[in-house]
Amino acid sequence: MGGPTERAAARVVRFGDASAIGIARQRVRPPRGNEVLVRVTHAALGATDVLARRGGYVLQPVPGFVPGYDFVGVLETESAVSVALGLRTGARVAGVLPRMGAHATLLVLPPTYLVAVPDALSSEAAATVPLNGVTAALALRYAGPAPRILIQGITGAVGALAAQLALRDGRTLFGTGTTPPPGLADGDPRLTLVDYRDPGWPAEVRERTGGGVEAAIDHTGSPLVREAVAPDGVVVRTAFAGRSGHERGDALRGTAAAVVRSRAHPREVVCSVPFWVLRKRVEYRRMLAGLLGDVAEGRLRAFEPEVYPFSAVWDAHRAAEARSAGRTVVLAM
């Protein structure tokens, strides 16, 4: 099979700050069986990439790894399975990987990780959606039909999408944050903002709901969250913030504690998109296609892409670390 055989990839050569990234030239093996070759055009760079670069991610790869869970690109080759999925050579595709590696110019992977990008959506804008959108939608699915839901970090990339999806389902929303997320009007009566810097915030949620919300989506791992949830409710944990220098150990302990509390009151659920994508390919593809369609047709407002050329990957890491409100850093490969 013809096509390119070498790629550029952003490797984390040691754990540390943005200077720990090095661009490497790597050989690309030809696709086998039904695999396809994707020329990556854009890849998001988010909170998880920064955490992994520092060595604090719960699913931490060893140094030498290439960050990036999601991407947008163009199919360089096709296979019987990709054609059956409607994906032919030249198609614009997006996907989430089950393990990191998207910050590279070429990927060889099974087409079951890919969905078509709607024509109406630019590749830059589409690149902000896959990981953030699937995390938001999956966390809401795990939250079940809770009429009132608390979303931690509602101004974040994941929280802002989760908030819109929850409101679309007709749920009443509580969000920790200081400003409403993009796409939500200030003073929207369906949203109550509480400030996570005030340690009394769970009591405030409990008081306003008469005993707690039915579900919470949390990325901090804080035990405080349980206090804001009714005893028969559920806490969906998408991440566990750790103490500086102990992030990974704290996240592993947090995950273990959440698993132990899977039958507690409130119960806890761990939401891991990489594992889910690996196991539930059909559901994942349906979810991602739906999210991209929603963004393309204006039913869902994703963050604005803040685009950096791949040659400025170090600046992109610094920008992701600085987190500008309402923006997701995107590498243009």
Ligand X SMILES: NC(=O)c1ccc[n+]([C@@H]2O[C@H](COP(=O)([O-])OP(=O)(O)OC[C@H]3O[C@@H](n4cnc5c(N)ncnc54)[C@H](OP(=O)(O)O)[C@@H]3O)[C@@H](O)[C@H]2O)c1
Residues that bind ligand X (CB under 6 A): 46-48, 51, 131-132, 135, 152-153, 155-159, 176-178, 196, 219-220, 238-239, 271-273, 323
DSSP string, 58-108: TTPPPTT----SEEEEEES---HHHHHTT--TT-EEEEE-SSS--SBSEEE
CB-nearer residue toward ligand X: 47 or 295 = 47
Tokens of 107: 């990927």
Kindly state the smallest distance separating residue 156's Cβ from ligand X, in Å. Answer: 2
- How far is residue 240 from each of residues 55, 165, 201, 206, measured CA to CA in Å? 14, 23, 19, 22
CB-nearer residue toward ligand X: 303 or 310 = 303
Kindly state the smallest distance separating residue 72's Cβ from ligand X, in Å. Answer: 17
The span from the CA of 26 to the CA of 24, in Å, is: 6
CB-nearer residue toward ligand X: 107 or 194 = 194
At residue 174, the 3 state secondary structure works out as: strand
Kindly state the smallest distance separating residue 176's Cβ from ligand X, in Å. Answer: 5
Residue 1 burial by Cβ neighbours in a 10 Å radius (0-12, 13-18, 19+): exposed
Kindly state the smallest distance separating residue 121's Cβ from ligand X, in Å. Answer: 20
**Beta-carbon neighbour count of residue 321 at 10 Å?**
16
Kindly state the smallest distance separating residue 30's Cβ from ligand X, in Å. Answer: 31
The span from the CA of 149 to the CA of 229, in Å, is: 9
DSSP state of 245: T
Sign of CA dihedral 242, 247, 251, 253: negative
CB-nearer residue toward ligand X: 87 or 300 = 300
Calculate the CA 89 to chain-centre distance: 27
User: Which residue in this structure is represented by tokens 């060893």?
Assistant: 62
CB-nearer residue toward ligand X: 135 or 164 = 135
Tokens of 121: 């959506």
CB-nearer residue toward ligand X: 47 or 114 = 47
Kindly state the smallest distance separating residue 218's Cβ from ligand X, in Å. Answer: 8
Residue of closest CB approach to ligand X: 156
Kindly state the smallest distance separating residue 11's Cβ from ligand X, in Å. Answer: 20
CB-nearer residue toward ligand X: 24 or 188 = 188
